[in-house]
Amino acid sequence: MEDYGRFLAFLASSLLVGFVSVILSLVWVLHYREGLSWDGSAAEFNWHPVLIITGFVFIQGIAIIVYRLPWTWKCSKLLMKFIHAGLNTTAMILAIVSVVAAFDFHNAGNIPNMYSLHSWIGLAAVIFYCLQLFLGFAVFLLPFAPVRLRAALMPIHVYSGLTIFATVIATALMGITEKLIFALKNPAYSESPPEAILVNCLGLLLVIFGSLILWMASRPHWKRPPAENA
Ligand code: ASC
């Protein structure tokens, strides 16, 4: 790879931006909100943004670009598939736990479920992510699918993976926005209190993280060389 340094700069920036996003989500719920617990209270709901940003955004983002790390090109393709699948499975589990936390909190407080656009798109994203994972496992990881089927499905796997990732980030932005509108009362969101500024910055970082990952994933010359597959 002739522009190894540029790739490393993108990788380091995305890791930094993703890591700071996770920290900001923790500062949000621990410093400005009710903290974290599992008791049906608002502190249980707070797992929702933390686990979505950690799992569904950060870990999923890393899972997407894991084949592009040049020092893994001498590892077997099968090992890299296990790492890709393992990171995505971890992200799926965290996303499901985070959705359970949101439903639990709503049910304990008689708050209606599944009325917002955030919840519709978010649940669709979780369902399609599970389908993507099980299909990917069956076609690309297990040894049964013929090469022609793998080759036919690979562009669809890549396209739907990137689309789900972008949708998850858009859904996180909707969730952040509605939470700030619901939760900030005195002072209100419109008065730009420090919590609003911090969480707006978190949203900005999620967009930057998504852009960096999608850039790395869409550069053909940063792909794992086919000759080194095995
Ligand atoms: C796989 C694998 C690939 C693709 C290719 C079809 O399972 O390891 O490189 O599918 O065979 O595009």
Q: What is the pLDDT of residues 57-109, one digit of tens each?
A: 999 999 999 999 999 999 999 999 999 999 999 999 999 999 999 999 999 99
CB neighbour list of residue 95: distance below 8 Å, 6 or more residues apart: 51, 52, 55, 56, 126, 129
* Ligand 1 contacts CB of residue 156 (under 6 A): no
Given a cut of 80, whether residue 130 has pLDDT beyond it is yes
Going by pLDDT thresholds of 50, 70 and 90, the confidence category of residue 51 is very high
pLDDT higher than threshold 80 for residue 147: yes
pLDDT for res 227: 63
Q: Is the separation of the CB atoms in 105 and 111 below 8 Å?
A: yes
Q: Are 169 and 121 in contact (CB under 8 A)?
A: no
Distance 225 CA to ligand 1 centre (A): 12
Q: Is 151 in the pocket of ligand 1 (CB under 6 A)?
A: yes
Mean pLDDT computed over 8-29: 98
Question: In the predicted model, is pLDDT for residue 167 greater than 70?
Answer: yes
Q: Which atom of ligand 1 is nearest to the CA of 145?
A: 7
Whole-number percent of the chain with pLDDT over 70: 98
Distance between CA atoms of residues 96 and 127, nearest Å: 10
**Terminal Cα distance for the chain, rounded:** 19
For residue 68, the CA-to-ligand 1 centroid distance in Å is 15
Q: Return d(Cα 208, Cα 216) in angstroms, integer.
A: 12
Reported pTM: 0.96
**Mean per-residue pLDDT of the chain:** 97
Distance of CA 131 from the midpoint of ligand 1 (Å): 19
pLDDT at 115: 98
For CA atoms 20, 23, 29, 33, give the dihedral sign: negative
